[in-house]
Amino acid sequence: MTLPLTEHILYTQDQLHIEACSIESIAAKTTTPFYCYSKAQLLSNIHHCQAAFKPHGMDIHYAMKANSNLSILRLIADQGLGVDLVSSGELLRAQAAGIPEKSMIFSGVGKTTVELTLAINAGVGQFNVESVEELELLATLATQHARSINAALRVNPDVAVDTHKNITTGRKGNKFGITIEQALSLYQCYADHPWIKLSGLAMHIGSQIQSVTPYRQAIEKLMALATKLEEAGFSINSLDLGGGFGVDYGDGANLDLVSVAQEIARSTANFRGRIIVEPGRSLVANAGVLVSRISYIKEAQPNPFLILDAAMNDLMRAALYQASHPIVPTNTDNDSAIRHYDIVGPICESTDTFARSYPLSKSLKAGELVAFLCTGAYGSVMSSTYNSRSILPELLVSGTETQIIRKEITQAQLIEYEL
């Protein structure tokens, strides 16, 4: 495994640093576990993404579900990106971060009446509609509120992708989108609707994808559909190709954004409208770490257990997708021979296991810190309070400055909501 360290999250003199701050110095000022992000790394990821897609004139809408902390959203918005959102909660956050409503795309299979009404009245720029039933409801609400709606149909292109089965979304049997065959009749049905303007197609085929092939295959189908619709007299002004671009979690595999952009440009060369992409993970994953303290090293067979103070509720990805995040000591000063550990959290579930037989220094001790690398995406946002555990604080480092960007939601505060 090659550690996915970055220009801004790296070892300096045996100490893991985020920019100019050592993790140990950050941890000395807060409770563990905590999430910590590098502002410079975030900006560098955004700029890299813009450099890949902008020369082709493509629009970037950050899939904010990957990390929706307000400070992160503000940073992203300041760089001129729009957002892809999937709930009224995300809409509220995007508004609070100052993102213009016209730069918002509302995706999701189960938008409720309340959510659609809120988004319609807010003036959300584009609705990606995922079913006949949703389009009916959207049309009814748009009529009631006398608001013009810009909508795209999300189609399910039914292509195979090389990722974990739980994060594919563009296969037959997945709940997302309509079939390609349904699109023409929906366009015909809403052709003269006074408030609904269907003018785009959308797709999102999955997440943590490592190859451009499924994009090429899916875009081919989308392009064929766009041509068919245009031949039938409809103008297709935008193609939203979703996100899913894979990052390196330590196995060396990732999807280079420049090659994705080139592939998209090639496959859509005959399309004259706007192309949108919705990266989430690739903008934030490697900019964040989860820092945790070792509570115990419990001797056992076949491996000792490294029992951490972080658990599956703080970082769900291992329990949900058998995902592995590189786990590293924050101080490699006394690094000696290697020992293999089973790395677990304190929750009363056997799935509260981050890694099995994981090689780390033999000299590790209880009380020392470890960091989970590449946890800026789908880390904090997916946490829960299971076992009545708190919601972790989040910190943002910029140079020598460390700022709390979310306070811990404490165990006592959680109880306050119960009557």
Kindly state whether residue 170 participates in binding ligand LLP, applying the rule CB under 6 A: no
Kindly state whether residue 200 participates in binding ligand LLP, applying the rule CB under 6 A: no
Binding range to ligand LLP, per CB under 6 A, among 145-153, 202-210, 263-271, 402-410: 202-210
Where in 353-412 is the site for ligand LLP (CB under 6 A)? 378
Closest CA to 272 of 200, 378, 178: 200
User: 285 vs 6, 67, 242, 277, CA distance in Å?
Assistant: 11, 9, 17, 17
Kindly state whether residue 214 participates in binding ligand LLP, applying the rule CB under 6 A: no
Closest CA to 384 of 320, 321, 313, 319: 313
- How far is it, in rounded angstroms, from Cα 204 to Cα 327? 30
The number of residues making up the chain comes to 419
- How far is it, in rounded angstroms, from Cα 393 to Cα 232? 54
Q: Is 113 exposed, middle or buried (0-12, 13-18, 19+ CB in 10 A)?
A: exposed
Least distance in Å: CB of 240 to ligand LLP?
A: 8
- How far is it, in rounded angstroms, from Cα 29 to Cα 393? 12
Selected binder of ligand LLP within 82, 177, 214, 244 (CB under 6 A): 244
Least distance in Å: CB of 228 to ligand LLP?
A: 23
Least distance in Å: CB of 168 to ligand LLP?
A: 10
Selected binder of ligand LLP within 103, 207, 268, 398 (CB under 6 A): 207
Least distance in Å: CB of 406 to ligand LLP?
A: 19
**Ramachandran region, residue 298 (left: φ > 0; alpha: ψ -120 to 50; beta: rest):** beta
Applying CB under 6 A, the site for ligand LLP has a residue count of 20
Kindly state whether residue 317 participates in binding ligand LLP, applying the rule CB under 6 A: yes
Nearer to ligand LLP, 261 or 294 (CB): 261
Where in 17-36 is the site for ligand LLP (CB under 6 A)? none
- How far is it, in rounded angstroms, from Cα 243 to Cα 339? 38
Q: Where are the alpha helices (DSSP H) in 146-249?
A: 180-189, 213-231
Kindly state whether residue 204 participates in binding ligand LLP, applying the rule CB under 6 A: yes
Kindly state whether residue 345 participates in binding ligand LLP, applying the rule CB under 6 A: no
Catalytic residue among 36, 49, 189, 348: 348
Least distance in Å: CB of 244 to ligand LLP?
A: 4
Which helix (H) or strand (E) segment holds residue 404: the answer is strand 401-406
Binding range to ligand LLP, per CB under 6 A, among 16-24, 243-251, 305-313, 350-358: 243-251
Cβ count within 10 A of residue 253: 13
- How far is it, in rounded angstroms, from Cα 3 to Cα 189? 53
Binding range to ligand LLP, per CB under 6 A, among 129-137, 280-288, 289-297, 327-335: 280-288
As separate numbers, helices (DSSP H) first and strands (DSSP E) second, the chain gives 12, 20
**Helix, strand or coil for residue 191?**
coil
Nearer to ligand LLP, 117 or 208 (CB): 208
Where in 71-130 is the site for ligand LLP (CB under 6 A)? 84, 107
Cis peptide before 194 (omega within 30 of 0): no
Nearer to ligand LLP, 157 or 243 (CB): 243
- How far is it, in rounded angstroms, from Cα 66 to Cα 392? 16
Selected binder of ligand LLP within 82, 157, 170, 243 (CB under 6 A): 243
Nearer to ligand LLP, 103 or 361 (CB): 103
- How far is it, in rounded angstroms, from Cα 398 to Cα 259? 30
Kindly state whether residue 281 participates in binding ligand LLP, applying the rule CB under 6 A: yes
Kindly state whether residue 63 participates in binding ligand LLP, applying the rule CB under 6 A: yes
Kind of pairing between the strands at 104-106 and 126-129: parallel
Least distance in Å: CB of 66 to ligand LLP?
A: 5
Binding range to ligand LLP, per CB under 6 A, among 73-81, 273-281, 297-305, 402-410: 273-281
Catalytic status, residue 189: no
Kindly state whether residue 245 participates in binding ligand LLP, applying the rule CB under 6 A: yes
Catalytic residue positions, numbered: 348
Binding site for ligand LLP (CB under 6 A): 63, 66, 84, 107, 167, 204, 207-208, 242-245, 278-282, 317, 321, 378
